Amino acid sequence: MEQFDKHTGYCRMLGHDVPFSYCRQVQESRPCFKILDCWFDKLPVQEYMDRHYSKDEQEDILKKPTPKILTLVDLIEKAKNRNAL
């Protein structure tokens, strides 16, 4: 898919255009969870996913991330518990 890396499209997460290369490796060198939603009508992105990732990996990649507020609350609770020891 590197041949498509310079194609740009609007990122609903960031609010501006980004190159496909960004979407392919945004989360720890793995594709963005919205890659299929954003690129399905422009590039053969499902073929790319099928070729490079197992079904289980795709499920993991494409699942919606935990909202940041919940992650923050969890981190605060862990910090409180550490300080209580």
Instruction: Render pLDDT for 49-70 as a digit per residue (tens, 0 to 9).
Output: 999 999 999 999 999 877 888 8
What pLDDT, on a 0 to 100 scale, did the predictor assign at position 1?
Answer: 66
SS3 of residue 75 by DSSP: helix
Instruction: Render pLDDT for 15-31 as a digit per residue (tens, 0 to 9).
Output: 999 999 999 998 788 99
Q: Cite the DSSP H helix spans in the chain.
A: 20-24, 35-39, 45-52, 55-62, 68-84
Instruction: Render pLDDT for 65-85 as a digit per residue (tens, 0 to 9).
Output: 778 888 888 889 899 888 877
Q: In the predicted model, what is the mean pLDDT of residues 28-51?
A: 93
